[in-house]
Every structure is written in structure tokens, then in C-alpha cells.
Amino acid sequence: MIRIDHLNVVFGRGRSTVHAVRDVSFAVRRGESFGLVGESGSGKSTVLRAIAGLVDDWTGTLEVAGTAQARRRSRDFRRQVQMVFQDPYGSLHPRHTVDHILKEPLYIHRLEATDDRVVESLEEVGLDASFRFRFPHQLSGGQRQRIAVARALIMEPSVLLLDEPTSALDVSIQAEVLNLLTRLRREHDLTYILVSHDLAVVSHMCERLAVMRLGEVVEDLAIEQLRRHMPTHPYTRQLFQAAHGYSRDFVAQLVDDI
């Protein structure tokens, strides 16, 4: 469904050049859920933004559904590939009602923006029609993230790009949103790319993951390998152990440069 080959992203020029993504290649099958894990500055979000077409300075090949993508994406691509951002407080227009937020992408794509369609997509994410005329500040964090998912789904996409969709939420709300995403993937045969710093979230949601560090993919492995404690790269192993909480001994053997 998605194939990336030798993706490079370079920001800035001259002395202030930042090589944010270095030679990243991976492929995601239709219906698969693929995780990108790494610490801040590892380039994981930049890869996602490059796929979405939100970053211009990239080189390499990027194929979605068998079509090579140019810098400027087609209208069809923009319908098929939708993104959900990390911060539900920043990603919804504060002065638009939920109704307006959900209809806007339909207007842009000159699709029929009926009230029924809005209500239907609200129901899809577990909210009822009474939410239509609320403003984002009248919603909780979890409800906002549901609206962000509804806005992506209303375009009937085949790919969802999820950038830390639950890291701003409490764990009980995180569980609800993750369950929602799991159900939607099954019902709509969606392909996910999920970016997260949380190894547990990725291993819950994905079948395969790539671990990124300093712009490079250090390891690409199946979740099964991770579960059986078999990550091969020392950095992955370190992340894996760190995800199991604090231990003085573990910190003592942490190495900064692997």
C-alpha cells in the first residue's frame, strides 16, 4: 500500500543544515498497521509528514497504492490519505463548530456535505448528534481526539497517518481511543502508520515496527520478535527495557552512544 525507498529529508541550508531523515526505506501492506518508534528528534514524525505531503524538501521514492508520488499530491491522494495529529487542543479550529470542522474537508473536495454524513461520522467515533454544534472548548481531550478521527474518516480514506494520537490523553482515555482505532481499522479495512514514543502503544496497535534514531531506521521488526524479547539492535533493546520502568541497575548500564 505504501512503499518508501531511500527517503531523505534535509531542512535548512548552508551551515544550519539538518539532515532529519536519512535513507529510510520501508513498505506497508494494505490493511497492515505499521509503527514508527523513536525518541524526540529521531525523525519519526518527519517521515510521517513527508508521506502526508507536509514536508517539501525530500528526495527518494514514495509510492502510495502503486502510484509514485510527486512533490505536489493529487486531489485523490489528499482524500485517501488522512492524518490525525498529536494535540487535540491545537488541531481543531477553536472558533468552528464540530459541524463546520467535519464539513470543511467535504467542501474542499467538492463532495456532498450533508448533515446525515456528519451525524454518521460522529456515530462512527462513538459520539451522538448532540455534539454537532459544540465548539472544541466544550469538549474533553478524548472527545476532541474523536472529532479529529471523525474528520479524517469522513473522507473515506484508505490510509490513516497517526502522529502520537494518544500521548496528550490520560491512560483511561487512551485505552478508549486505541480501541476506537482498532475497531475502525477492522471495519473500514484501513492501513495505519502510527508514530509514537511509547513502545507499549505501538506493540498493542501494530503488526510491525521500525525503530528510528537520529534520522535512521536502526531496526525493522515484527511485534512478535519484540514480545519474545528478541530485538537485535542494542538501541531497541535499551528502549524495550526502559519501557519497563525505573531500575537503578539498568540506568547504570545505559550507554549514550550505541
Partner 1 sequence: MAETPLLEVEDLHVTFRTPKGPVEAVRGVTFKLGREKLGIVGESGSGKSQTGRAILGLIDSRGEVRAKTLRFAGSDLLSADERAMRRIRGNRISMILQDPKYSLNPVMTVGHQIAEAFLVHYKASRKDARRRTLEMLEAVRIRDPERVYHAYPHELSGGMGQRVMIAMMMIPEPDIIIADEPTSALDVTVSLQVLAILDDMVTRLGTGLIFISHDLNLVASFCDRILIMYAGRVVETCPAGELDKAQHPYTRGLLNCLPKIEQGAEILPTLVRDPSWATQDETAR
Q: Is 182 in the site for partner 1 (CB under 8 A)?
A: yes
Q: Is 171 in the site for partner 1 (CB under 8 A)?
A: yes
Q: Is 178 in the site for partner 1 (CB under 8 A)?
A: yes
- By CB under 8 A, the residues from 231 to 250 that bind partner 1 are 238-240, 242-248, 250
Helix axes of 141-153 and 115-124: crossing angle, nearest 10 degrees: 120
Closest CB to partner 1 among residues 69, 145: 145
Residue among 36, 127, 159, 199 that touches partner 1 (CB under 8 A): 199
Q: Is 130 in the site for partner 1 (CB under 8 A)?
A: no
Q: How far is the CB of 163 from partner 1 (least distance, A)?
A: 17
Q: Is 170 in the site for partner 1 (CB under 8 A)?
A: yes
Closest CB to partner 1 among residues 71, 244: 244
DSSP collapsed to 3 states, the chain? CEEEEEEEEEECCHHHCEEEEEEEEEEECCCCEEEEECCCCCCHHHHHHHHHCCCCCEEEEEEECCEECCCCCCHHHHHHEEEECCCCCCCCCCCCCHHHHHHHHHHHCCCCCCHHHHHHHHHHCCCCHHHCCCCHHHCCHHHHHHHHHHHHHCCCCCEEEEECCCCCCCHHHHHHHHHHHHHHHHHHCCEEEEEECCHHHHHHHCCEEEEEECCEEEEEEEHHHHHCCCCCCHHHHHHHHHCCCCCHHHHHCCCCCC
Applying CB under 8 A, which part among 16-24, 55-63, 65-73, 197-205 lies near partner 1?
Answer: 197-205
Applying CB under 8 A, which part among 26-34, 75-83, 108-116, 203-211 lies near partner 1?
Answer: 203-211
Closest CB to partner 1 among residues 132, 197: 197
Q: Is 95 in the site for partner 1 (CB under 8 A)?
A: no
Residue among 32, 104, 120, 176 that touches partner 1 (CB under 8 A): 176
Closest CB to partner 1 among residues 61, 179: 179
Closest CB to partner 1 among residues 157, 231: 231
- Residues interacting with partner 1, by CB under 8 A? 39-40, 170-172, 174-176, 178-179, 182-183, 197-201, 203-205, 223, 226-227, 238-240, 242-248, 250-252, 254
